[in-house]
Amino acid sequence: MKQKEIVTLQRSLLPDTEALLNKQIEMEGKSSAYYLSMASWCHMMGYANAAQYLYTHADEERMHMMKIFHYVNEAGGHAIQPEITGIRHNFHSLREIFELILEHEIKVTKSINNIVDHAFGVKDFATFSFMQWYVTEQREEETMSRRALELFDIIGEEGIGLWTIDQELGKLHSAANAGE
Ligand SMILES: [Fe+2]
Ligand SMILES: [Fe+2]
């Protein structure tokens, strides 16, 4: 009985919430690995700016993962280092990469929204408040992904199109970093 009381006092996270946060840790860890793999492909193919953009993005996703990791442990839960498998290494084109990123970010947004909804439902306002940072971050990341993808339609991929797109991705990357 004593043990039970101690456990109750030590933790502020409900098991359901902890499970959802651990799933999000896994999702951010996979995002990081996914973007690193994309960065490598771009680097190898000579898209230097796209590669830089994606190397940075991979680091940011790891930071997203670590923020939740610490939150879970500080709240008395147990953050789980996720298994990262099934990461794709080859892509058909630069455009495909940016289409995949947007699709992936939309999935992440849905998952974040689900946690926010859950936290509100169970009156876990600490987690609700903690997750607001992710809500804002997802809005920014989706906007960036859409703008990156628009470059392919605006510039076109023929001739020096892909080279120009890579240059513009570099500018988008610098602008995003300056805004932080
Ligand atoms: Fe993320
Ligand atoms: Fe992201």
User: How many Å apart are CA 30 and CA 41, to the nearest integer?
Assistant: 17
Amino acid at 117: D
> Which residue, 124, 90, 113, is CA-closest to 27?
113
Residue 46 counted as domain residue: yes
Q: Which pLDDT belongs to residue 10?
A: 63
Residue 116 counted as domain residue: yes
Find the largest Cα–Cα distance for the chain.
73
Residue 5 counted as domain residue: no
Residue 3 counted as domain residue: no
Residue 30 alpha carbon to ligand 1 centre in Å? 9
Residue 159 alpha carbon to ligand 2 centre in Å? 31
Q: State the sign of the Cα–Cα–Cα–Cα dihedral 89, 91, 94, 98.
A: negative
Q: Which pLDDT belongs to residue 9?
A: 57
28 is in an annotated binding site: yes
Residue 7 counted as domain residue: no
CATH number for the domain that contains residue 114: 1.20.1260.10
Q: What's the pTM value of the predicted model, to 2 decimals?
A: 0.90
Residue 105 alpha carbon to ligand 1 centre in Å? 8
Residue 10 alpha carbon to ligand 2 centre in Å? 31
Q: Which domain holds residue 102?
A: 13-177
Say if residues 35 and 54 touch (Cβ distance below 8 Å): yes
78 is in an annotated binding site: no
Q: What is the pLDDT along the chain (180 residues), one digit of tens a residue?
A: 444 444 455 678 999 999 999 999 999 999 999 999 999 999 999 999 999 999 999 999 999 999 999 999 999 999 999 999 999 999 999 999 999 999 999 999 999 999 999 999 999 999 999 999 999 999 999 999 999 999 999 999 999 999 999 999 999 888 877 765
Domain tally for the chain? 1
